[in-house]
Structures are given as C-alpha cells and as structure tokens.
Amino acid sequence: MAIEFQDYYETLGVPRDASQQDIKKAYRRLARKHHPDLHADQKDKEKAEKKIKKINEAYEVLGDPEKKSKYDRLGANWQQGDEFNYRDFAQQQGAGHGGFRFYSSTGGAGAAGFSDFFSAIFEGWGQEGPSRAQDAFHGAGTRWQPQWEPRRGMDAEAELRVSLEEIYRRSEKTVQLTAQGFCPNCGGTGIVGNSFCPQCAGSGQIPEIKNLKIKVPPDVRPGSKIRLKGQGGSSATGTPGDLYLKIKLIPHPVFTLQGDNLEADLILSPWQAALGDKIEVPTLDGTVRLVVPPQTRRGKKLRLARKGLAQRGGGRGDIIYKAAIDLPAQVSAEEKELYRQLAKLHAKG
Ligand SMILES: [Zn+2]
C-alpha cells in the first residue's frame, strides 16, 4: 500500500534543523493565521479547516521530539513526489513505541482527522506485538478510519528533599506536586469544534495538584531517582504518565555521606586521646559507646561497622569517626599547672 508522503517541514515553513522553539512559534503563527473562525464565508472556512488540520498534524509530529526523530529517519526512504511505501518502512523500523494509539473504528470519525500517512507512521505506538496498522493494511478494501486518542499522560519530575535519618528509617513523606494532566474539556485534544479549547488554550493539558505519600527507599542516594508508576499526568485514555522523584539530601549537622558510609569528626580532649576512653557517639539511630584506644592521634579513623546506609543488594555501610583533638573552652589554674608539668616532663624525655 502506498501513501502520499507529507512534508511536515514544508507545512510549517521551517527548515529541517529548526529548533523546538522555532517549530512551536511557526505552529502558533500559522494556527492563528488559518483559524477557521476568522472566515465568515463557508467555503473559506472549510479551506481553513483543511489547512489547520494539516498544520496540527505537522506540529503533532515535529513538535514531539520522539515522533520527529522517527519522521526524520524517513528521509532516506522517499523522494519528493514519490509515493511512500509503508510496509518497507515498517520492516526497517520494527515495532514502534511511544504514546499514540489508533484503532480501527467504523463509527466516529477521527477527532483530528490526520492523514493516512500519519496513521501509517504513528499508529500502533505503545502497543505490543505486531502493529495493528499492518493488519489493517492487509485487509484489502476496508476503509481505514483512524481514531485519534490523546497520548499517554505526561511524565512528571519533582525534587524530593530527604534527611539522612529519613533514608535510614525508611520514613514516609507527604509531598505535594503539580503534574500536567489531560484537559477534560477537550479530552486532551486541545480542540473543541473548530476552535482551540478555551480551558487549556489548545495545549490539551491542565495542571493537576497531587498529594502523595512516599516511603523513602533505604538505598536511595543524592541524585538518584524514584519512579512512581502511574503518578504522572493523567490521560484521557486512562494510561497516566510516571512520576520521577529526584533525591536531594538535606545537609546533616553531624554526618557527611561518602558512598554508603557516614563520616563525622570525633572531638577528643588531650587526655582522652592520650589515655584512651569509652565515649558516647551519635549514630542515625541513637547513641552508642565507642572505644577510643590509647595514643589516638589526629586524623585516626575509628570505624563503627554496619551503622551507615543500606546498600543496594543488601548490607550496610559503616560510620567512620575521624579523631580531632581540642582543648576544653575553660582551663583552670590547677589544670594550667599540670600542663606546665607535662611540658617540663616532655622536654626532659
Ligand atoms: Zn482543553
């Protein structure tokens, strides 16, 4: 089956290397210029409707990076004016993927009325197994009626600020965020009748506020992303997008995170460092007693095993305390005298 190739770049009047911003600008300008409501005359109105359908179709493809790249790959397979062979293309590309689905329907014309070319390239996206389009084309003599469905809901991304304690304890957090959902007024098409939907200004999307309870996974690290399936923007067809939460660590007053290990300074008095001691040290889960051996010098690392963060695939990091020696804020006359004796002793030795 051969289908007429649609030059979407020509339709929007943009060069092949146009940026997404330029494509959007060109689309907006053309959509305003050819708005069917601008024409009182019925024939002009119909012409404008045809034109706007072409413009919408072109923007549907070029304005979506994934579809655009698929479309751009066609370049090698056609010559201007040639008919386009869908099956060759389908064989080269294998099964498609993405957010659009079409199904064969005898009732109800396609909401957007896109071309056979568009249907051939983009139908079957998001389906498993062989594209339904191929089946449809095999059925000779059947009129293929594409039914446009809005894409899968938008994926959303947000930042989740967590403390080390919340990671350690697998705490539950409540977050409020905004995702882009489909506009119920226009069913996500952006078009009502022949006009842009007034509720979403033709974008097909409106903001949705979500309140979510999230259990912080114990093996997350700063920068890692949690995927919450189906918690992104809603969709008219019921396949919502996903939500990605990027972990941002709230700075801790005591510990810094080094991989799975926690590090902290351990401030010792001179006699603790010289003679050794048993002292209370903080962890993310209360305090524990740590043995400081005699002759502990500055920078010595004392390790508390398995008190750090959970590791991916089991196990746990350590806490590493780094010895630092400091004087008490107040030193009495008696203590000063003892330091003098210490100094004398050391000078002799
Ligand atoms: Zn709308």
What CATH number is given to the structural domain containing 9? 1.10.287.110
208 and 130, same structural domain? no
* 100 token code pair: 């659009």
233 and 293, same structural domain? no
| Span from the CA of 203 to the centroid of ligand 1 (angstroms) | 7
Closest CA to 59 of 9, 104, 17, 105: 9
> What integer pLDDT is reported at residue 125 of this predicted model?
43
| Span from the CA of 186 to the centroid of ligand 1 (angstroms) | 4
Beta-sheet pairing, 205-215 with 83-85: unpaired
280 and 245, same structural domain? no
CB atoms near residue 42 (< 10 Å): 8
| Span from the CA of 133 to the centroid of ligand 1 (angstroms) | 28
| Span from the CA of 191 to the centroid of ligand 1 (angstroms) | 7
| Span from the CA of 194 to the centroid of ligand 1 (angstroms) | 13
DSSP letter at 255 equals -
Q: What is the mean pLDDT of each run of 10 residues along the chain (349 residues)?
A: 73 90 89 78 84 87 84 58 43 33 28 65 44 33 37 81 95 86 82 83 84 92 92 78 91 95 96 96 96 97 96 93 94 95 92
317 neighbors 218 (Cβ within 8 angstroms): no
In sign, the C-alpha dihedral spanning 336, 337, 338, 341 is positive
What CATH number is given to the structural domain containing 287? 2.60.260.20
| Span from the CA of 233 to the centroid of ligand 1 (angstroms) | 14
Domain span holding position 30:
2-138
For ligand 1, an ion, list residues with CB under 5 A.
Answer: 183, 185-186, 197, 199-200
> What integer pLDDT is reported at residue 151 of this predicted model?
60
CA dist 273 to 39, 291, 300, 319, 322, Å? 89, 11, 10, 19, 12
